[in-house]
Structure 1
Amino acid sequence: MIKFEGVSKTYDGKTNVIENVNFEIAEGEFFVLIGPSGCGKTTTLKMINRLIPLSDGTIRIHDKKISEYSIHELRWQIGYVLQQIALFPHMTIEENISIVPELKQWKKDRIHDRVTELLNMAGLDPDTYRERKPSELSGGQQQRIGVVRALAADPDIVLMDEPFSALDPISRLKLQEDLLHLQRTIQKTIVFVTHDIQEAMKLGDRICIMKDGKIEQMGTPEEITAAPATPFVQEFIGSRGAQPFVIRDHMQPAAEPNHAEIPSLSIDAGWSKVLDALLIADEVAVEEHGKFVGKLSRESVLAFLAALEKERTATA
């Protein structure tokens, strides 16, 4: 699907930002590029759609050199999602999603139906959100629109450059869950850049760990965890595996049964349901066998995430 053959990139003719990179991404694969700042992961991503020209080697898409595509043909078959959400503030949500289909001269009825389909995919009611402006949406909702806008013209490939890193922790984790669910539905070829090993391990079918413009290791999350190829990889993945979130350990016990005004959650609910509940409420009632046993607050979940981040920083 996407093939890098001896690809290098230099900006001054002397120092390689990317050095002799070789790999292939299969059709329908979720492929993650990860590494420390300055390792070349974003440069690698941007060479795929020719936002950055390569200095040496060849990149192929469907066995055709990217240099042989017209720039419009190439970019119309590649969706692109940025860290900066980059929705046009003066346009409605429907107008934002419709940009590429309109450039491709789709008929209005087809565009309207596609917007409806994509808003439903994003979990946003089309009748409610179609005519809203970006400023009327939360950060997480705006980033959902950024993702589905990249899918509007049904591209073969989607490039995602740290799309969730600017969001609050709960919204970020929820969007990771949403993206996994979406990928199971649409089966696009996704190339995803992140600096967060937990995010990479959660999302990637395969992970490419980079350092100083070179590939340190490439493999499935299980392969990399089981057998780090270099001391750098060992240190980079370190003790950064995700710790399970157990509601009982983080809730506040409470005796009062009067909790009808807030949502409820089973004490054995999974992480995804916890995130869903706390995205719409500051606290939720926790029930066990149908009985109220306590409350779980957004603050306690953020404290859990902050402790994880502190531990990861200490071992980096």
Structure 2
Amino acid sequence: MIRFENVSKTYDGERLVVDSLNLQIERGEFLVLVGPSGCGKTTTLKMINRLIPLTKGTIWLDDKRISDYPIHELRWQIGYVLQQIALFPHMTIEENIAIVPELKRWKKEQVQQRVTELLKMVGLDPHIYRDRQPQELSGGQQQRVGVIRALAADPDILLMDEPFSALDPISRVKLQDDILDLQRTIQKTIVFVTHDLQEAFKLGDRVCIMNDGKIEQVATPQEILTRPASPFVQEFTATAVARKFSIVENLEPVPDGFSAHSTLPFDSEWGSLVQSLASNERIAIEKEGQIVGFITREGILRFLAEQSLEGTVPNE
């Protein structure tokens, strides 16, 4: 478990980047930090492994202050994946993955077995890839190696700082699917930073929306979508998806015996849909006095996930 207790970060004693943050991340949870540029999400992530020192407050890791851990012990418990994966070009893939296990003085046979296990886990044949150089791999393959390198010594926590944002849309959605499949197997505590709301909703058990160094809302994607906690959250989610959402493309057929408890006109905007879905699982859509179909919460979430295939939304 990771717990932020009144955590603040200032630069030069003046510029407040993170402001009195209180947040609890449960063991095995996939939490995504999302928000506009400069909102403090990457700073929040980097304070967990002390890459950035906090100014005030306390961060707890399993009821122990992170400041009480020797720095190497803390970081061995925490894997870290960056946007620019930075594999060592003069090392083989196996040597790149083996760095931390070797620093921890694992036996050679144990290291080799771990490399084989991890490569198989992300669909890279160990017989083909373990002796290759990083430049022989595609961007998506290098990013897979970056993820498993962070997992090599079996850390409890995985921090991921916009790890897929530099990839093309097809590679990006494949890596998103891969990390979800991997998480079902490894059940690590993952803290993931992105500026892409669709990616956040697709990946996160919960999503933490930040603005100006503060938390606006921490909730499941469905709760954020249907019960935004503040005007900022409502505007942030609406801006991210409204431009791409079309009722006609997401309309579901009327089932036999369907009874409309709530209806909206065919030309309704995104905000009206979200407000109605806050208290209804599905909304009937009316055109010229006839029910022509309905929009569901599940359908909206599916739409958000599918948008990742088309790339990221505009960075607001």
TM-score with structure 2 setting the length:
0.78
- Does residue 1:305 correspond to 2:310, yes or no? yes
Amino acid paired to 1:128? I
The equivalent residue for 1:258 is none
1: CA distance between counterparts of 2:310 and 2:121?
Answer: 28
Residue 15 of structure 1 deviates from its aligned partner by: 2.6
- Does residue 1:206 correspond to 2:213, yes or no? no
Residue 85 of structure 1 deviates from its aligned partner by: 1.0
The equivalent residue for 2:9 is 9
The equivalent residue for 1:116 is 116
Matches within 5 A, 1:147-226: 147-226=147-226
1:232-282 Cα deviation digits (max 9, x unpaired) = 1111111645879xxxxxxxxxxxxxxxxxxxxxxxxxxxxxxxxxxxxxx
- Does residue 1:125 correspond to 2:125, yes or no? yes
The equivalent residue for 1:82 is 82
Q: Structure 1 residues 131 and 44, CA, compared in 2 at 3 Å: closer, same or farther?
A: same
Q: For the Cα contact (< 8 Å) 2:36–2:195, is it kept in 1?
A: yes
The more displaced of 6-15 and 106-115 is: 6-15
Residue 12 of structure 1 deviates from its aligned partner by: 1.7
The equivalent residue for 2:62 is 62
Q: Give the secondary-structure state (helix, strand or coil) at the position aligned to 2:159.
A: strand
Residue 14 of structure 1 deviates from its aligned partner by: 2.2
1: CA distance between counterparts of 2:154 and 2:52?
Answer: 23
Q: Give the secondary-structure state (helix, strand or coil) at the position aligned to 1:127.
A: helix
1:13-61 Cα deviation digits (max 9, x unpaired) = 1231100000100000000011111000000000000000000000000
The equivalent residue for 2:20 is 20
Q: Give the secondary-structure state (helix, strand or coil) at the position aligned to 2:24.
A: strand
Moved over 2 A (4+): 239-244
2: CA distance between counterparts of 1:240 and 1:15?
Answer: 28
1:55-78 Cα deviation digits (max 9, x unpaired) = 000000010000000000000000
The equivalent residue for 1:141 is 141
Amino acid paired to 1:208? C
1: CA distance between counterparts of 2:76 and 2:310?
Answer: 38
Q: Give the secondary-structure state (helix, strand or coil) at the position aligned to 1:85.
A: coil
1:65-115 Cα deviation digits (max 9, x unpaired) = 000000000000000000001100000000000000000000000000000
1: CA distance between counterparts of 2:85 and 2:13?
Answer: 33
Segments of 5+ residues of structure 1 without an aligned counterpart are 245-300
Q: Give the secondary-structure state (helix, strand or coil) at the position aligned to 1:238.
A: helix
2: CA distance between counterparts of 1:231 and 1:127?
Answer: 53
The number of equivalent residue pairs is: 254
1: CA distance between counterparts of 2:233 and 2:125?
Answer: 43
Q: Give the secondary-structure state (helix, strand or coil) at the position aligned to 1:42.
A: helix
